[in-house]
A and B are shown apart, each in its own frame.
Chain A
Amino acid sequence: MEDYKFLFKVVLVGNAGVGKTCLVRRFTQGLFPPGQGATIGVDFMIKTVEVEGEKIKLQIWDTAGQERFRSITQSYYRSAHALILVYDISCQPTFDCLPDWLREIQEYANSKVLKILVGNKTDRDDREIPTQIGEEFAKQHDMYFLETSAKEAENVERLFYEIAAELIEQARSKEPISQHSRSTADSIGLSSLGSKANYLSQSGCCSSLSSHST
């Protein structure tokens, strides 16, 4: 039995070519493989991180962005603890599609799922979407916001560590008693995470991440 206290499923979604696979590779393997082929269906990687002295197993699901894989990727939304919605800051259309993605999330994911908006490719100098625009969009839709560069490894670690920290906090506030009973390595099911409301404080939800990123 592996030694970890929580298992969280993190699912990355977003248009094709925004760098989902690269973000995952950068985080899990420390690589930036150029000329990455399109993901087929879904892929996943596991990384165990330590946050506040707790071992957390992050199961990171990397999904295909292309339309024809939608049926496959949709099926993974429900069991996600956190959804990372990625766009490319140098490509307006990827940003314009965000409302469509939010509709998908609304339809398939648990309503209390932790949502993070990520503007990737900050290393590019042909930026089309100013940070502020992304930030505002995130605020409007109750999402965390962060800009990253998988190529330069900027904010990638922070993205996943903050997600882990947030999810632990949620799990703790949900199950203060059962935490002891669940001392054996076991995943905290989503149902237990999301069933009770108000862990996502409406006012401060955007602040903790986005304030650093500006």
Chain B
Amino acid sequence: MLDLRSVIGDEDISSAEGIERACATITQKEKEVNERLEAILSRQCQIESKLSGISRSMSTLHSVENDTKSLADRISQTAALAESVSAKVRRLDEARSRVSECQQRVHDLIDLQLCSQGVMTAIREEDYEKGAAHVSRYLSMDQNLLQRTADDVTGSVTSVSKALQTLEEATTKMREIISQKFDEAVRKDDLASVERFFKIFPLLGMHKDGIAKFSSYICQKLEVKAQKELRTSMDVAKAEKRMAVAFADTLTSLLENFARVFKVNQPIIESCYGTGYLLNMYEILQVECDKEVRNLILEFNKNRQIAKRVAQINEYMKSDGGVTLGHFRKPSGGSVDKLNPKDIDSLIGEITIMHSRAELYFRFMKRRVVADLEGSSLEDEDKKAKLSRSENIITKCDLSRQMQELLGTYLLLERYFMEESVLKAIALDTFEQGQQCSSMVDDVFFIIRKSIRRSTSTQSMNGICAVINNAASCFEGDFINALKGPLKNGYPSGYIDLAQAYNAIQSSIQQGKLQTSDAEQARTNFIVQLNNADMSTEFIETLWATMSEEIRGAFANMTQRESEILESCMSGLKGVKDSLKAVVDFGMQQLKSSAIKPRLNPWVDQFLTYNHRLTEEELAAYEAGETFAQFLIVQIDGLLNSFKSVLSPRNYDALVSILATEVTSRLERAIKKSTFNRLGGLVLDQEVRALGTYLTGATSWSVRDKMARLTQIATLLNLEKVSELSEYWNPNENNDMPAWRITPNEVRSILILREDFRIEDIKRVKI
């Protein structure tokens, strides 16, 4: 419905214009409406055809509905039918299972009858396998059920309960007989029978008893074997060359015997007893193993005089007034009857073998037991408890304890061996001509490497780490002290002329004779120890790297924790490098104060005696003769040459560096005490250049940096006139020139040294 109001809107229809406008609007609207109506009409036939289509399909739909209904009916019918069928099937199934259960019970009963008849015959006929098979069959039946069956049928068929009774009796009897027979076989040492009855135990439900009895039988055998071996190997070994490792050999074969028995019987146990029983056997075997090892260790301690030696070492260490850090024991002397480290060398080797064998044994046993438990059908909780029990057996068993004690002994002996051998190497230190280092560096590093390497063969991470710690102590203590000792006294500047002294050192070194004089010997010693310390910094790095690699190679399956502990201990060893560097630095300072400074200063001070205000004639004369630079270079060259062949390359470089610093600072001071004219400045510049060239050539690295200040001072004094400075002045680094190391104030005070420069000019110069 068109609302007229809404069409005409708020047109004012009171006026003609308004009416006209409204009319126009209405006409417009009318037109629109007509158009829409026409459009709708045009669609009429379309809609009509669709409607007729729909009415046609309606009839078809009716039949579909009917069909659907009948289908639904049938489905529900079928479902009801199926349900009733399946209920029947279920009942049928139930009945069937009951029948089969019943059958099973009947079978059981028949078997029971058979068994009860058979078992007695078997026992009588001593066919224990058969008897045990009967019993096993009986035991595999549900005992409660059997009892109930017996109760059910009681009265009518008494034979069931009778059979039960018979079987129960037979079981007890069989158990008794088999135990008895087994014991008898053990007594007779009849291995075949032992194995025969051993296999019967699980049939009688006596798994644990079987394992226990069999294990104790094995233990008995092993005990005899071990004792015999211990005796014979002691006798035999004494005469043979394996004497040194006789106990290690015995322990090896002892542990191997246990491991072998374990390995051989594992399949039998697993097939007859099932998995999960290995632990029981291991538990019993370990007790025996502990006992045998204890005997062996007892014999070992007695034979190898362990207690005495340990006491001796402890006594000796205490007699030193305590091995306080940095305390340098005298290698020889002392009234204490002390052990020769060489004597215990082979003993230490033997102990490491013994320890490693035990470690291997534990690993073997643990692997087997754990694998057996993991593969068993035990409940998770039970399995866990058994696994922790096996872990417990290994950590708490006497063998572990014995080995821990042995490792303690090893560490004491190894430490003594290492410290004493190092002291000996230091005491026997010799110096070969043409060498820069003496024998002790090689020797000490050899000894310590040997000790660390030997520790890895104990197979014990705790042992290795302790030896590494001890090695670091040994370096930091005795070794560093030995290096530092001669350095502390300083480089002796002797009573003879120093130039001669250097020559004397050289010649004495060349001749390999060191008997000339105390001072010379001290000098050589000083230089050699300085070189030793330098060389050691390199060696310690190498030792650290190779040992890390070797240990990691030997222990492929380290835990994260073990790896961290090892890392920490190894870094302690690496830390020795810093101490060694400190020794080198200390030695260098000593060399500087006692050898460089006293020699160098007079030479440089010669500068002051030269005239630096030269006329042309004087310059010509000066250049014709020996210039200061030539003089200084010859002297320095002599000094350096005396050291070049004896110092290690790194030490020599350090020496040149120290010398360069000394020369430049001393010369700078001498320059500041002199006055120059133009030609004097020219000569100075030439001389500084010559000195720079010489020092650069003397060493493998650049001394340009050290010469920078001096070069710049010479440049200043070589200026034509003050104003030229601006061409050179360059406080900041750039590509062409190094930055000025001289402050503006210093520049002024240096320029003043040129007597021909006027103070006003210098003051005026812009810098």
Contacts and interface: CB of A to CB of B under 8 A. Distances in A.
B439 interface: no
Interface in B524-572: 561, 564-565, 568, 572
Given A40-B395, A68-B405, A76-B469, A59 B568 contact: yes
Given A79-B572, A107-B324, A191-B579, A72 B472 contact: no
B323 interface: yes
Given A59-B568, A78-B473, A107 B408 contact: no
A43 B383 CA distance: 28
A76 B466 CA distance: 7
A106 B472 CA distance: 18
Contacts of B564: 44, 46
A117 B412 CA distance: 27
Contact of A75 (B407, B411, B461): B411
A75 B473 contact: yes
Interface residues of A, number: 25
B143 interface: no
A110 B465 contact: no
Interface of B is mostly: helix
Contacts of A69: 404, 408, 462
Contacts of B324: 106-107, 111
B206 to A, nearest CB: 33
Contacts of B625: none
Given A75-B469, A78-B472, A111-B324, A70 B568 contact: no
Interface string A195-213: 0000000000000000000
A72 B395 contact: no
Which has the most chain A C-beta neighbours within 10 Å: B409, B467, B472, B473?
A: B473
A74 B401 CA distance: 19
Contact of B466 (A68, A71, A79, A191): A71
B325 A111 contact: yes
Which has the most chain A C-beta neighbours within 10 Å: B325, B407, B412?
A: B325
Given A40-B404, A44-B564, A44-B565, A75 B412 contact: no
A170 B579 CA distance: 20
B53 interface: no
A191 B472 CA distance: 12
Nearest to A70: B408
B374 interface: no
B578 interface: yes
A107 B323 contact: yes
Interface in A67-103: 68-72, 74-76, 78-79
Nearest to A46: B564
B322 interface: yes
A42 B569 CA distance: 12
Contacts of B401: 68
A71 B465 contact: no
Contacts of A42: 462, 465, 565
Contact of B575 (A44, A71, A106, A189): A189
Nearest to B470: A75
Given A75-B469, A111-B325, A44 B408 contact: no
A37 B395 contact: yes
B466 A72 contact: yes
Interface in B440-495: 461-463, 465-467, 469-470, 472-473, 476
A143 B372 CA distance: 53
Contacts of A189: 575, 578
14 contacts: A44-B564, A44-B565, A46-B564, A68-B401, A68-B405, A69-B462, A71-B408, A71-B410, A75-B466, A76-B466, A79-B572, A106-B324, A108-B323, A189-B575
Given A69-B404, A75-B411, A75-B466, 18 more contacts: A40-B462, A44-B561, A59-B568, A68-B401, A71-B410, A71-B412, A71-B415, A72-B411, A74-B466, A75-B467, A75-B470, A76-B469, A78-B476, A106-B322, A108-B323, A111-B325, A189-B578, A191-B579
Interface of B: 322-325, 395, 401, 404-405, 407-412, 415, 461-463, 465-467, 469-470, 472-473, 476, 561, 564-565, 568, 572, 575, 578-579
Interface of A: 37, 40-44, 46, 59, 68-72, 74-76, 78-79, 106-108, 110-111, 189, 191
- List 8 tightest A-B contacts by C-beta distance, closest first: A41-B462, A75-B469, A71-B411, A75-B466, A71-B408, A72-B466, A68-B405, A107-B322
